[in-house]
Structure 1
Amino acid sequence: MRVVSYWSGQLPDVSRLHFASFLARTTGAKYELFIENCDPFASGPDDVVRELQESGRLSIHARPWESLSEMKVAPAVSVKQLRDRGKYADIFGPLFRRLASSVCRRFGKSNVLGLRGSFSAIGGFDFATDSRLFSWNRWHTYRADIFRVLAPSLFPGEDVLWVDLDTVFIRDFDEWPLNSSFVYRWEDQPHGNNAVIFFSEKSEHDRASLREAAVTSRSFRPWVLFTDRRCDAIGFKVLDPRLFDPAWDADSLMAATPRTFTSSNLHSDEIVEQIERHCVVAHWHNQWRVTPEPGSPWWILMSRMTRENRTVRGG
């Protein structure tokens, strides 16, 4: 199993729980961290990342796009060509994207001004990957959406698990539903979320079909790629969010309130107990700049992971 993630910029301090939990709760898998525009040991969770690297289970890749530069993001556009768009897209792309999003929301449109792209109520207006206004340098989250679809091609013949850094590992992989490729459902929407994506080694066809769908549709967004219909066609299951996302579990004390994860409250212990009982991994939805409060579910789980890692080391 290869566990893969990507980050641009300094690693957020709150992500130390992600790395500590991988070390404490999983065995056998190798972690591949693709990172750019930072030194992973300069700040943030440097101690946890270093500990994971010293365990022999983490590889850090400082040039994430190097091996993917010739892959397609649209029928006639490669990653390299998209990266080389220049200052025109960086200056005008974000401006026109905000304008298009505002117009589409106000007038209930799916497109505006003849721009190449489409509007979604979730993500706003997205330029198509072959639009001259697609801003590579300014659009960090979209770069991550592209990377998570293309990166599994670097590990042919292996199981690949993509995970966002705002997740905490709860159970080892022998307790995960790894019989086929999957995503999990975006709340109750007719499409999946891409915070966790499993690419099964049993079928190279799954990941190739997903890449082809992204290129053909000129979009790497989950509400385009992981619709129920498309997932069925390319071999991905769309699983119940209860296994992965307590904020999207109607029975959870965190339901619709992801900020509860980093806030101290009367139900912190119960929230952790629910997560430990129901989840294989738990997504806490961004909160990159938040400092978790003592007594919060984040704090309780971080304390447990730290203690478990010390026990394994014999400390």
Structure 2
Amino acid sequence: MEQRPLGRTGLDVTAICLGTMTWGRQNTEAEGHAQMDYALDRGVTFWDTAEMYAVPPTAETYGRTEEIIGSWFAKTGKRNQVILASKIAGPGAHLSYIRDGKPRLDAKNVRAAVEASLKRLRTDRIDLYQLHWPNRSVNSFGKLGYTHDAAEDFVAPEETLAALAEEVKAGRILHVGLSNETPWGLMRFVEASDRLGLPRPVSIQNPYNLLNRSFEVGLAECAHREQVGLLGYAPLAAGTLTGKYLDGQVPPGSRRAIDARKSRYDTPNAEPATRRYIALAREHGLDPAQMAIAYALSRPFMTSVIIGATSMDHLRTNIAAAEITLSPEVIHGIESIHTVYSNPCP
């Protein structure tokens, strides 16, 4: 498995990252363990989770994914073979079950979140600790029409980084990353860290797929110039690019079947675009999912592509995408489709 640099840390991570958010809801503990066994056997040593998982988030499933990872560590003794990433939840009215309903990116919450995650994960450290989403008014998760809120709950990057610095000093976390961030947010964190000598963001975890290449506008330049590489999540647009949701289908057990929230990838132009991408893949003898992942892997700003699967067959397919190099003809075909259907899912 190809290794790529993680920011300026001197640490390399695998080009494929094992996503875990279905464990504890769509997947059982045993299935999660099987996925970890297989991924490690295939050389995937970079894994990503979050305190909020399993997804869709509920009070009942909060922290369950970390617990499943922790039980695997305890069973196998292979913690030191894995580079582990997790995340702290930002504020949200729907998160009444997290820290008395007041999750924020301040010192009190950072300390409590790290301690709780370490306990669930049964480890003494988290290699990459990420801010799941910003602590300010911001467009995330496909939201458009930004409106500035002067009365927002804003936690300054300096405050958050100072809290994270204490965790780094204590050895509970090693590196810091961002997630669902904007160019303004990324640069504010970088500037604050450089100015104050605080932990510098080494990565940014944002969506990137054939239906949403918005990272290329603004953030890609930041990633290159500041060496804050992308950990691209949803490379299959939450399963949309496999074609399983075409013609209104909602397969039992799928994400859309269990999540009442409207998918950000369920838009008017998503279906015709998906049909074009699937046709292109089949024209060249490619699996549509593997083509989508291979394209994301080929982007120069990509540090690692986070894959997730609810079945072992899907996991095998997704990991094997790392072995595929797309031809110039396929790349040209993708760019031609994108010209017609440019970011149909923001």
- TM-score by structure 2 length? 0.30
TM-score between the two structures when normalised by the length of structure 1: 0.31
